[in-house]
């Protein structure tokens, strides 16, 4: 059943007059606009030509959300819609008409993962305990997006406490390409919603894999930057040793444009100041009066792969023959674009220490800081919000777990375990002082030993798995399970997070997408964006789900 909030939006929508903006006729101006797979470029061209307005764009996306999110397959990709989205869009249309656009995100609908604070909507972190919690102000990146003219369309679903793809607020998020499969976690809603054409851009957050995993399983582009490139202020923490927000979109160009807006130093996140100072050392002029001067769109070059040396990591192949075939074709395409490739097989010592059991141990020890970070975040919220982990455990056990949407056991385990651990533990201190610095050194050594500019591999060695939550679990014997090592934690589990970008490399015979990954050294987002763009433009393998076809009215003709 559609929520009261959404019924209110669509009642308003039915009676809203969409602002019409006249634009000068241009010889190459578009005469029509197509919503499906719309990009920043196509939208801005249509707005400049007077074909559509931001208000009309919001209206079209809300109609798709009504059809496929609240109805039809019920993807469960969005937890809250902004009741002021149409009003905000109309105001931005008037501003565009009178003063011009602020930039490429002016009037563009954006979804935020529901751990990013917004002053005008709840930020639940996927927890029913917080489903009505409205923070006192915007997260740093939410404010940056609003300042750039973006329309915050709503809050995307996420795995509860940033784990998995189920939460106790809305339930299980469904993959738009196969309703029996999940979306990856924990930016499940951000990945599914962008793949389903519910918005133009989305923000996810990535601790282990939570931007890149959902992007790969949903066939979109996702970037996990160097940890600290984007401020974490106002984002509910999962593990601040590794947490990073990241842009998600259907194209590399749109990811780069969004990164321009949300990447900046912020005194409320000291790590971001440290990272940007380091960037400024390496690239004089990258900061001016504390403001970034890097334009990530300058790396969008079709010949960016020419002369690049890429390390193909074979440890991440061998899970599903279909994925291996897609990855082989992707690498062949990169070679045809001028890239050189080197075969890399990780040593057993590396795998044992930083993937597999070693990686799990890193995460286990790092989570010793979870309780202190989470309770510090809770202190920023209003008096009606519980203030301790113990409060959450009690409410979950006595209330939420007796509801139709109980908390998953993995979340309860995290909460309870965090009550008995501390950063003063010698094992945690060893992690910070020895294990993570060792991980950073070992990962950097991969680039030096093999003389490569980036590592390349299929992001997952299996397609999106069947939904496993007991309340939604379905039998799907077509799934090919992989026992191969997964590359997710290669990026974050270090003293400084390594950047990685994933871009569509095609679809399996079941119609499910998968992405190829470019993995780079810290501070080299621009290089990775260039490689991903060159491959994307030469392959153009992204396509919408046939299960969510365009609705009537999604092609707009100029009047």
pLDDT of residue 474: 82
Q: What six digits make up the tokens of 152?
A: 């915050």
The angle formed by the CA atoms of residues 156, 162 and 166, to the nearest 5 degrees, is 65
Q: What six digits make up the tokens of 352?
A: 């044992």
Q: Are 221 and 179 in contact (CB under 8 A)?
A: no
pLDDT of residue 492: 86
Q: Using the 8-state DSSP alphabet, how is residue 546 labeled?
A: T
The angle formed by the CA atoms of residues 86, 100 and 138, to the nearest 5 degrees, is 50
Kindly state the helix (H) or strand (E) to which residue 448 belongs, with its residue range.
helix 436-450
Kindly state the helix (H) or strand (E) to which residue 458 belongs, with its residue range.
strand 454-458
Q: Any idea which residue has 């990709």 for tokens?
A: 77
- Binned at pLDDT 50, 70 and 90, residue 538 comes out as very high
The string of DSSP codes covering 243-292 is -EEEEEESSHHHHHHHHHHH---BTTBHHHHHHHHHHHHHSTTSEETTEE
- The rounded distance, in Å, linking the Cα atoms of 231 and 10 is 34
- The rounded distance, in Å, linking the Cα atoms of 254 and 529 is 11
- Strand ranges for 388-445 from DSSP E: none
Q: Which of 127, 133, 186, 190 is catalytic?
A: 186
pLDDT, one tens digit per residue, over 336-367 is: 999 999 999 999 999 999 998 899 999 999 99
Strand partners, 244: 206
Assess whether pLDDT exceeds 80 at residue 438: yes
Active site residue 210: yes
Alpha helices in 29-138 (DSSP H): 40-48, 54-64, 85-99
Assess whether pLDDT exceeds 60 at residue 23: no
More confident: 511 or 483: 511
- Binned at pLDDT 50, 70 and 90, residue 9 comes out as very low
Active site residue 461: no
pLDDT, one tens digit per residue, over 152-196 is: 999 999 999 999 999 999 999 999 999 999 999 999 999 999 999
Measured CA to CA in angstroms, residue 163 lies from 402, 412, 556 at distances of 21, 11, 39
Kindly state the helix (H) or strand (E) to which residue 32 belongs, with its residue range.
strand 32-34
Q: Are 319 and 483 in contact (CB under 8 A)?
A: yes
Assess whether pLDDT exceeds 50 at residue 475: yes
Q: What six digits make up the tokens of 245?
A: 């927000």
Of 102, 109, 98, 106, nearest to 9 by C-alpha is: 109
pLDDT of residue 3: 44
Q: What six digits make up the tokens of 555?
A: 């092609």
- For residue 100, how many other CB atoms are within 10 A of its CB? 10
Assess whether pLDDT exceeds 90 at residue 488: no
Q: Are 511 and 179 in contact (CB under 8 A)?
A: no
Q: Which of 133, 208, 210, 462 is catalytic?
A: 210
- For residue 33, how many other CB atoms are within 10 A of its CB? 22
pLDDT of residue 487: 86
* Count of alpha carbons within 13 angstroms of residue 425, beta-carbon side: 14
pTM of the model: 0.94
Assess whether pLDDT exceeds 60 at residue 455: yes
Mean pLDDT (whole number) for 131-156: 98
Measured CA to CA in angstroms, residue 491 lies from 184, 282, 314 at distances of 17, 21, 17
pLDDT of residue 16: 37
pLDDT, one tens digit per residue, over 228-283 is: 999 999 999 999 999 999 999 999 999 999 999 999 999 999 999 999 999 999 99
Mean pLDDT (whole number) for 432-448: 97
pLDDT of residue 277: 96
Strand partners, 310: 341, 454
Active site residue 462: no
Q: Are 533 and 299 in contact (CB under 8 A)?
A: yes
Rounded to the nearest integer, the mean pLDDT of the chain is: 94
- The rounded distance, in Å, linking the Cα atoms of 219 and 206 is 17
- The rounded distance, in Å, linking the Cα atoms of 446 and 484 is 20
Cα torsion 283, 287, 292, 293 to 10°: value is: -60
- The rounded distance, in Å, linking the Cα atoms of 288 and 192 is 37
- The rounded distance, in Å, linking the Cα atoms of 62 and 67 is 9
- Categorise residue 225: left if φ over 0, alpha if ψ from -120 to 50, beta otherwise: beta
Rg (CA), the chain: 22
End-to-end Cα separation, the chain, in angstroms: 36
Mean pLDDT (whole number) for 471-492: 86
Domains contained in the chain, CATH given: 54-547 (3.90.1300.10)
Q: Which of 54, 56, 77, 113 is catalytic?
A: 113
Assess whether pLDDT exceeds 70 at residue 420: yes
Assess whether pLDDT exceeds 60 at residue 1: no
Asked if omega into 480 is within 30° of 0 (cis), the reply is no
Q: Are 254 and 39 in contact (CB under 8 A)?
A: yes
Measured CA to CA in angstroms, residue 71 lies from 74, 305, 548 at distances of 5, 43, 11
Dihedral of alpha carbons 298, 152, 234, 364, sign:
negative
């Amino acid at each position: 059943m559609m929520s009261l909030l959404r019924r209110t939006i669509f009642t308003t929508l039915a009676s809203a007059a969409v602002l019409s903006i006249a634009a000068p006729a241009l010889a190459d101006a578009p005469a029509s606009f197509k919503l499906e797979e719309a990009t920043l470029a196509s939208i801005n061209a249509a707005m400049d030509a007077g074909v559509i307005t931001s208000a009309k764009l919001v209206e079209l996306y809300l109609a798709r959300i009504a059809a496929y999110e609240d109805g039809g397959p019920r993807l469960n990709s969005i937890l809250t819609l902004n009741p002021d989205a149409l009003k905000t869009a109309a105001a931005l249309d008037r501003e565009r008409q009178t003063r011009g656009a602020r930039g490429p995100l002016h009037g563009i609908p954006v979804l935020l993962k529901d751990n990013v604070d917004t002053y005008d909507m709840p930020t639940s972190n996927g927890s029913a305990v917080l489903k009505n919690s409205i923070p006192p102000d915007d997260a740093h990146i939410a404010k940056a997006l609003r300042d750039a003219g973006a329309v915050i369309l709503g809050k995307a679903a996420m795995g509860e406490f940033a784990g998995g793809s189920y939460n106790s607020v809305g339930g299980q998020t469904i993959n738009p390409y196969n309703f029996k499969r999940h979306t990856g976690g924990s930016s499940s809603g951000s990945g599914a919603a962008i793949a389903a054409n519910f918005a133009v851009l989305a923000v996810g957050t990535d601790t282990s894999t939570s931007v890149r995993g959902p992007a790969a399983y949903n066939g979109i582009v996702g970037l996990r930057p160097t940890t600290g490139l984007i401020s974490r202020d106002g984002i509910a923490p999962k593990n601040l040793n590794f947490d990073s927000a990241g842009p998600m979109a259907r194209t590399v160009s749109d990811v780069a444009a969004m990164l321009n807006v949300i990447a900046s130093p912020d005194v409320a996140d000291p790590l971001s100041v440290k990272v940007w100072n380091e960037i400024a050392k390496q690239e004089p002029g990258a900061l001016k009066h504390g403001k970034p001067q890097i334009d990530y769109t300058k790396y969008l070059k079709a010949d960016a792969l020419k002369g690049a040396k890429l390390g193909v990591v074979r440890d991440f192949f061998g899970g599903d023959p279909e994925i291996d075939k897609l990855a082989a074709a992707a690498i062949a395409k990169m070679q045809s674009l001028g890239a050189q490739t080197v075969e890399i097989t990780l040593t057993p010592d590396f795998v044992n220490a930083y993937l597999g059991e070693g990686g799990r141990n890193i995460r286990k020890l790092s989570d010793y800081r979870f309780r202190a970070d989470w309770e510090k975040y809770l202190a920023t919220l209003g008096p009606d919000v519980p203030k301790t982990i113990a409060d959450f455990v009690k409410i979950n056990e006595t209330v939420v777990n007796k509801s139709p949407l109980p908390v998953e056991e993995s979340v309860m385990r995290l909460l309870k375990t965090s009550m008995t651990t501390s950063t003063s533990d010698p094992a945690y201190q060893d992690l910070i002082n020895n294990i993570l610095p060792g991980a950073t050194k070992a990962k950097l050594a991969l680039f030096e030993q093999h003389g490569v500019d980036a590592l390349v591999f299929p992001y997952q060695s299996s397609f999106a798995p069947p939904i496993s939550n007991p309340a939604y679990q379905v039998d799907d014997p077509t799934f090919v399970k992989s026992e191969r090592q997964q590359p997710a934690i290669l990026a974050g589990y270090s003293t400084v997070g390594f950047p990685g970008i994933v871009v569509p490399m095609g679809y399996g015979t079941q119609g499910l997408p998968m992405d190829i990954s470019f993995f780079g050294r810290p501070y080299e987002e621009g290089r990775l964006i260039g490689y991903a763009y060159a491959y994307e433009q030469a392959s153009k393998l992204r396509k919408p789900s046939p299960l969510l076809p365009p609705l009537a009215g999604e092609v707009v003709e100029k009047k």
